[in-house]
A and B are shown apart, each in its own frame.
Chain A
């Protein structure tokens, strides 16, 4: 569960069926469970107008459960990067009445929302539900490099190597948390690194 801290830190809800003409679900790993649960609350025929795009976790689970919902389209992708062109194309051709549902890790929700914002969807119009890992996408404020799947506090920037404090300060525009050098005064000072975002 994600706790509220500062105002820019995203909070997530529980997916709920919205009125609409088309329903686009994007999920990774355990995010599939959120879709399976919305199916229990959805009106009959809801998935006839739905498309599910799913990035299975390393264990490859939940695929059959999603297929069993019989969405109009079901698409699997190995990574978010690999589904990006398809997602951009879908949104570019979409009409008002398309509703977007994002479930799974924060990285997935954030990056899919970033693409949706570029396509003109307001972030408050998007249904989100956090499931699975708390790993963060982090941007180093010093070199601007993005480090994926950050689980520790502090964390090392994968680009410039600085030791960064992972803040709750979040940018929807770049879909990342902010990382700020934790020992700028004295680099020899190395605070202990702890598992903070399992």
Chain B
């Protein structure tokens, strides 16, 4: 059960290859009405029916929040992932009827900011597509620094340069171009907010430097959907519903709980929002925590787990579910 989210019946209206790795998908409502309003940084959870299996993956909405005739997402193909992106690339064609969640924003702009400084890495550009469109429409002050591997994999770099010109700065890994992060962070006017979306390593680096250089935590915003990692199968006892289930190698704990007919709350399914936080009743083994929600203290305590992305290895695990 997704907390507070009603499902939207949509149809795929267009599928556009963007480059070797990224494809864009457009969705419209099947009843022809407008889609719900969203703000820059919002995501939807896309339901993928793949035979017996249903995958639920979050993707940032990348269209302009001013246009709710359609939702657009861009999906980077991950050949070694759990198959969600491959399903989108291989099976989703215009005309296919799909279900997506209502939009949820866990990476929204702080409208009190005097300036918005955005740092994107790779496919982390997608929420900024919507945020820049929103800010540009209202005359907001922003600057986008976008790192990509090569020019040809710089998804939407050309579009952004054309729309926003010098407000967009590109860095190409293959040309050894690097953000001068300390200088950039030290020269921003008071009242600037920082937004970072990209690989985990980049987010950690930026958050770490920002904290050292005196950026208060409330001015630093980040989003990284952790994809659930595969791992060894393990057994779990659900104390409240009185069931014992097995979590397969390729399955997340949350998916296994859902497959057993128990509906825990969720929103992002990427270890960010905190909705599926679950209390541990008892355990004998070790946790593999992959979320960004629980504190390090929570991780060490052995009292909580985020079943959307975290796993367990050991003899027994009993959850309050």
Shortest C-beta distance, A123 to chain B (Å), equals 10
- Which of chain B's residues have a CB closer than 8 A to the CB of A121? 190-191
Q: A119-B190, A120-B113 are in contact. Are A96 and B218 (CB under 8 A)?
A: no
Interface pair A19/B214, CB less than 8 Å apart: yes
Q: A96-B219, A97-B186, A125-B219 are in contact. Are A120 and B191 (CB under 8 A)?
A: yes
* Chain A CB within 8 A of B188 CB: yes
Q: A124-B216, A124-B218 are in contact. Are A95 and B191 (CB under 8 A)?
A: no
Interface pair A119/B188, CB less than 8 Å apart: no
Residues on B close to A: CB < 8 A?
A: 112-114, 185-192, 211-216, 218-219
Q: A21-B186, A91-B190, A125-B218 are in contact. Are A96 and B112 (CB under 8 A)?
A: no
Shortest C-beta distance, A157 to chain B (Å), equals 32
CA distance A95 to B215 in the complex (A): 10
CA distance A19 to B219 in the complex (A): 14
Interface pair B187/A95, CB less than 8 Å apart: yes
- List 5 additional contacts besides A21-B214, A95-B188, A97-B186; criterion CB under 8 Å: A19-B214, A95-B187, A96-B188, A120-B190, A125-B218
CA distance A99 to B192 in the complex (A): 13
A-B complex: 8 closest residue pairs judged by Cβ atoms: A120-B191, A20-B214, A125-B216, A97-B214, A120-B114, A94-B190, A96-B188, A122-B218
CA distance A21 to B185 in the complex (A): 11
Shortest C-beta distance, A130 to chain B (Å), equals 21
Residues on A close to B: CB < 8 A?
A: 18-22, 91-92, 94-99, 119-122, 124-125
Shortest C-beta distance, A32 to chain B (Å), equals 23
How many A-B contacts if CB must be within 8 Å?
60
- Which of chain B's residues have a CB closer than 8 A to the CB of A91? 190
Contact of B213 among A20, A119, A120 (CB under 8 A): A20
Chain B binding surface, main DSSP class: loop
CA distance A98 to B186 in the complex (A): 10
CA distance A18 to B190 in the complex (A): 16
Can you list 11 A-B pairs, Cβ within 8 angstroms, ordered by A?
A: A19-B211, A19-B213, A95-B190, A96-B186, A96-B189, A97-B213, A97-B215, A119-B190, A119-B191, A122-B112, A124-B218
Contact of B192 among A18, A96, A124, A125 (CB under 8 A): A96
Interface pair B213/A21, CB less than 8 Å apart: yes
- Which of chain A's residues have a CB closer than 8 A to the CB of B189? 94-96, 120
Closest A residue, CB atoms, query B114? A120
Contact of A97 among B113, B114, B185 (CB under 8 A): B185
CA distance A92 to B190 in the complex (A): 7
CA distance A95 to B186 in the complex (A): 7
- Which of chain A's residues have a CB closer than 8 A to the CB of B188? 95-96
